[in-house]
Structure 1
Amino acid sequence: MPFEPSLLFQASFWGDLSQLITPAVGETLYMVVVSTLLAYLLGLPLGVILVVTSPGHISPNPWVERILGTFINILRSAPFIILLVAFIPFTRSLVGTSIGTTAAIVPLVIASAPFVARVVESSLKEVPYGVIEAALSMGASPLQIIKKVLLTEAKASLILGITITTISIIGYTAMAGAVGGGGLGDLAIQYGYNRFRTDIMIATVVILVVIVQGLQSLGTTLARRLSH
């Protein structure tokens, strides 16, 4: 049934809309938060390894850097919608189902972790090597340099990277809705597009814009406070 503007003045309309959107927002936030945490749990070490094994760094190893970099590039080159479908058997074996918000987290992490690795690599390479040389001259170990020099000096850039990653994952969750992943994307497709509910389409877009703007503002503010 097409959306009629006169419905905006009916209290029952807003109640029905709220009942649909509220759980969808909760599902989207659940997917975004868990996926971002797990993506950084995997991607942060990968990014660090890419940096420290690069030529001229503290533990140069061209083979490790080349193989790891190639693997990351392969995953990054695959569109998310393809990864979403390709990893259905793996998702089903891991969480017992391939449909729903928890199932969507698996391909979200697989798609986001390589992106995180490259973002972390870019952030850590911004640290002047002179600072690293100073730490080496004082007898710091590679692990100490990673923890107290690289990650500490690049914290502002890393915060911005987290912001970019989180916003990208929000976009991925919308695509996950196309295959029953739940959240706002699923709501927009199942109720907004398939049932010609323009009001739901508009509401989901507005909510996503508000979430993205809020995250971007928060990330920029934190990065500004942490920068030297």
Structure 2
Amino acid sequence: MTWSEVFDLLWVGLQETAWMVFVSTVLTAIGGLLLGVLLVLTAPGGLLSAPPLYSVLGLIVNITRSLPFIILLVAVIPFTRAVVGTTIGTDAAIVPLTIGAIPFFARIVEAALREVPSDVIAAATAMGATRTQIVGKVLLREARPGLVAGLTITVIALVGYSAMAGVVGGGGLGDLAIRYGYQRFETEVMVATVAALVVFVQLVQMAGDLIVRRLSHK
């Protein structure tokens, strides 16, 4: 296989990986943020203290996080088929990627929000702020650097998950590495795929660090 052919395959695989990571990141950011805020609010002593609900949510999060992604990928096949109508391809891979990443990011959100000083929350409460205002204008605003840093970590994890999805025909760079680099012993493809993943992750990390620094200076 010529390097021209390798680059053509790599470009298609990179586009598929970028699409999977982008869509699953958006869905994970929304779902994980909501779940993380709910965990903080319902925790004992929280603004909406509900220990039973917190325990149930925590158990669900812990169970999902404890499953290796490759097992989760197979376990949710019926749900994936019901949602997108197929279990093969990039769109199908987005479903397990999102399911696996939401609990991961939710715990990061929970940890970031708990880092907000309690006296800041007390001051907002004393000034008559509602619970919604405390969440939106105090907790989330103060925790922005930590949330962005956590989302950066989650995106990098999703890149790794997306490569793993290639084992079951999920498309992207992982699928390219399996079909050509491993099954056909095309060393050039494997080297190019690894290099592309390294560059992809580095760019994500650099962008995340830049945003965190800017938010921290405000």
Normalised by the length of structure 1, the TM-score is 0.93
Per-residue deviation, 1:215? 0.9
1:99 alignment partner, SS class: coil
Structure 2 match to 1:167: 156
- SS of 2:46 mapped into structure 1: coil
Which letter maps to 1:71?
A: I
Amino acid at match of 2:86: T
In structure 1, how many angstroms separate the alpha carbons of the residues matched to 2:42 and 2:129?
17
CA-based RMSD of the aligned residues comes to 1.0
Task: Name the counterpart of 2:59.
Answer: 70
Aligned length: 217
What SS class does the counterpart of residue 172 from structure 1 fall into? helix
Cα distance in structure 2, aligned partners of 1:52 and 1:129: 13
Aligned to 2:177: 188
Say whether 1:113 aligns with 2:107.
no
Q: Where does residue 56 of structure 1 map in the other structure?
A: 45
**Paired amino acid for 1:18:** F
Percent identity for Structure 1 against Structure 2: 57
5+ long unaligned stretches in structure 2: none
**Alpha-carbon distance between aligned partners in 1 of 2:82 and 2:135, rounded to the nearest angstrom:** 36
| 1:197 corresponds to 2:198 | no
1:24 aligns with 2:10: no
Q: 2:26 aligns with which of 26, 29, 37?
A: 37
Q: What is the letter of the counterpart of residue 50 of structure 1?
A: L
SS of alignment partner, residue 90 of structure 1: helix
Q: Offset of 1:61 from its aligned partner?
A: 1.2
Report the Cα distance in structure 2 between the residues aligned to 1:76 and 1:113, rounded to whole angstroms: 9
| CA offsets 1:93-138 (integer angstroms, 9 cap, x no match) | 1111000000000000110010011010011111001100000001
Residue 14 of structure 1, CA deviation: 2.4
TM-score with structure 2 length normalisation?
0.97
CA deviation map 1:17-69 (0-9, x unaligned):
12211110000000000001111221111100111122222221111111111
| Post-superposition offset of 1:141 | 0.7
Runs of 4+ deviating beyond 3 Å = none
Give unmatched runs, 5+ long, in structure 1. Answer: 1-6, 8-12
Q: Which has the larger radius of gyration?
A: 1
In the alignment, the residues of structure 2 paired with residue 202 and residue 18 of structure 1 have an alpha-carbon distance, to the nearest angstrom, of 11
Match of 1:179 among 145, 168, 172: 168
CA distance in 1, matches of 2:212, 2:7: 34
